[in-house]
Amino acid sequence: MKYAIIIPDGAADAPLKELSGKTPLQAADTPHLDAVAQSGRIGTVRTTPPGFSAGSDVCMLCLLGYDPAQYHPGRAPLEAAALGLQLDAADWVLRCNLVTIVDDKMVDHSAGHIKDTEARQLLGSLEQALLPAGTLQPVQFHRGVSYRHLLTVRGGDFSKLHTTAPHDIPDQPVKPHLPRGPGADLVLDLMRRARVVLRAHEINVVRRQLGENEATDIWLWGQGRATKIPSFQERFAVRGAMITAVDLLRGIANLLGWRNLECPGITSYHDTDYAAQGRCACAALDEYDLVCCHVEAPDEASHQGDFATKIASLEAIDRHVVGPVVAKLKTFGEDWRVLVMPDHATECSSRKHHDAPVPFAIAGKQCHSAVARPFTEQAAQDSDLHVNAGYELMEYFLSVARA
């Protein structure tokens, strides 16, 4: 059997008045997505369990068959796995976003999707200013991609520290959402001192002159400790590979024992090379039992409140990823399955994630529906297939194929 999972991150949305009451999925021209839904099964799945926030860390674990209540260690440790950080029992790791805060409001959680080269220079300056050589510092910066980075802290206890994801507070005052609880003093001190360094940095001076969002601050959140989870092959006897431009997904793939496949040209934004990702996924199906193809662009467009770009990204995913991947799967005869779904909803109106159940569609071997429906939120809600415990969907996707 060959399996493909295609994840248009944050694709699900709410109706928008700008689209005459349609969602971006309903407004987009997606014939290949619709064909998957119409030829197979469509339904809804709840990927945000009670007590959790609708973040990709939680929702992706759920989507891939792992109960977050049992396996979720915090967001930062999952990304640490992508960077190959060796954490010991005394280490804590936090997400370190470069963000834009103006007049005490979170203007941009991504600092204008700052480039890797600029971000690395800023992190280097922060290290020099905040962690001078020759001192015994318990903290260390770790460079990631674009605005996404990590900070490790040796010792202490951050288990009761309360933090908030910056993308959950767009255009909102940051003060009520600053880290609080045990360990907050250290975190807040780093954030305050970083602000001084960043706002005077030459990179931000140039960005200001160009009218781009500056990296005015670091935002620390998503803390956790080293974790191990059972491999995907142990649980499902399937050998997998991941194609993504996002460290969080790379980290999850590493923990699952999947191979992270390099695909030149792909990014976590709408400037990604959709066609290259489709070609990489098709080629990978020749070697791996399961290929997971994650595209971040719809989510980032939603966080910017940009429904037009979100629609364009959905149409590009349909044309360059879904269509070619399904065509490739069909070359394996009848022995294939495809699952298409977002990990969570991201609403353009609020610019935030939402914990509502998301639509999914499964097509391929022994998977048919009596009623043909397009791939939209409403069509999924109208179906008779609803998975409340989201982590059970993966077993359904794989076991039905074996029936």
What pLDDT, on the 0 to 100 scale, is given for residue 95? 95
Read off the CATH number of the domain in which 314 is found. 3.40.720.10
Task: Among 174, 199, 224, identify where a domain stops.
Answer: 224
Whether 130 and 55 share a structural domain: no
Q: Is residue 237 part of a domain?
A: yes
What pLDDT, on the 0 to 100 scale, is given for residue 124? 94
Q: pLDDT tens-digit profile of 338-397?
A: 999 999 999 999 999 999 999 999 999 989 887 899 999 999 999 999 999 999 999 999
Mean pLDDT of the 130-151 span:
83
Whether 255 and 334 share a structural domain: yes
Whether 208 and 142 share a structural domain: yes
Residue 272, judged by CB atoms within 10 A of its CB (0-12, 13-18, 19+), counts as buried
Report the C-alpha gap between 35 and 125 in whole angstroms: 51
* Helical H segments across 344-392, by residue range: 377-382
Phi, psi dihedral angles at 178 (to 5 degrees): -65, 150
Task: Among 191, 224, 257, identify where a domain stops.
Answer: 224
Which DSSP state fits 320? I
Query: Is residue 402 over pLDDT 70?
Result: no
Whether 190 and 240 share a structural domain: no
The DSSP bridge partners found for residue 150 are 95, 142
Q: Is residue 220 part of a domain?
A: yes
Is residue 226 within 8 Å of residue 91, measured between CB atoms?
yes
Whether 279 and 358 share a structural domain: yes
Residues in the chain: 403
What are the angstrom distances between the C-alpha of 381 and each of 74, 164, 300? 30, 30, 25
Whether 212 and 107 share a structural domain: yes
Whether 147 and 21 share a structural domain: no
The tally of domains found in the chain comes to 2
Q: How confident is the model at residue 133 (pLDDT cuts 50, 70, 90)?
A: low
Tell me the pLDDT of the chain averaged across its residues. 94
Mean pLDDT of the 178-182 span:
96
What pLDDT, on the 0 to 100 scale, is given for residue 359? 98
Q: Is residue 73 part of a domain?
A: no
Containing domain of residue 47, as a range? 2-67+229-402
Q: How confident is the model at residue 138 (pLDDT cuts 50, 70, 90)?
A: confident
Mean pLDDT of the 183-193 span:
95
* Helical H segments across 285-335, by residue range: 297-303, 307-317, 323-330
Contacts of 160 (CB under 8 A, 6+ apart): 181, 182, 183
Whether 40 and 92 share a structural domain: no
What pLDDT, on the 0 to 100 scale, is given for residue 403? 41
Q: SS3 for 7?
A: strand
Report the C-alpha gap between 373 and 27 in whole angstroms: 15
pTM of the predicted model as reported, rounded to 2 decimal places: 0.88
What pLDDT, on the 0 to 100 scale, is given for residue 369? 82
Is residue 248 within 8 Å of residue 82, measured between CB atoms?
yes
Query: Is residue 135 over pLDDT 90?
Result: no
Whether 140 and 19 share a structural domain: no
Report the percent of the chain where pLDDT is more than 70. Answer: 98
Is residue 89 within 8 Å of residue 105, measured between CB atoms?
no
Q: Is residue 264 part of a domain?
A: yes
Is residue 8 within 8 Å of residue 293, measured between CB atoms?
no
Is residue 171 within 8 Å of residue 107, measured between CB atoms?
yes
Whether 328 and 389 share a structural domain: yes
Q: Is residue 290 part of a domain?
A: yes
Q: Is residue 239 part of a domain?
A: yes
Q: Which amino acid is at 265?
A: G
Whether 284 and 397 share a structural domain: yes
Is residue 377 within 8 Å of residue 361, measured between CB atoms?
no
Mean pLDDT of the 254-282 span:
96
Mean pLDDT of the 220-246 span:
94
Q: How confident is the model at residue 254 (pLDDT cuts 50, 70, 90)?
A: very high
Q: With CA atoms as reference, report the closest residue to 297 among 320, 326, 281, 279.
A: 320
Can you list the positions of beta strands (E) in 14-118? 41-45, 91-102, 105-108
What pLDDT, on the 0 to 100 scale, is given for residue 88? 87
What pLDDT, on the 0 to 100 scale, is given for residue 44? 98
